[in-house]
Amino acid sequence: MNVFFTSNEPRYRLARTIVQGIIGVLVANIDLLIGLTPIEPALRPVIAGLVMAVLSPIMAMMGGDPE
């Protein structure tokens, strides 16, 4: 798992981006998934982008320093 977070190979970078995108879309559509308050359709891409922006440094911290 540490290789997933720390490797700079293109396949791992792509995998991290895909995972961030999936999580972002799930969070943006959480109202449809569990029936909470409705979210404006125009805000969904913004929410997904914000989630991805927050997940990127979190994933980097989880990988730690490869020293």
Q: Average pLDDT per run of 10 along the chain, which is 67 residues long?
A: 84 91 86 76 86 86 67
**Contact yes or no for 52/33 (Cβ under 8 A):** no
* Per-residue confidence (pLDDT) for residue 26, from 0 to 100: 86
Domain ranges of the chain: 2-63
* Per-residue confidence (pLDDT) for residue 1, from 0 to 100: 73
* Per-residue confidence (pLDDT) for residue 47, from 0 to 100: 86
Nearest to 43 by CA among 30, 33, 59: 30
* Per-residue confidence (pLDDT) for residue 11, from 0 to 100: 93
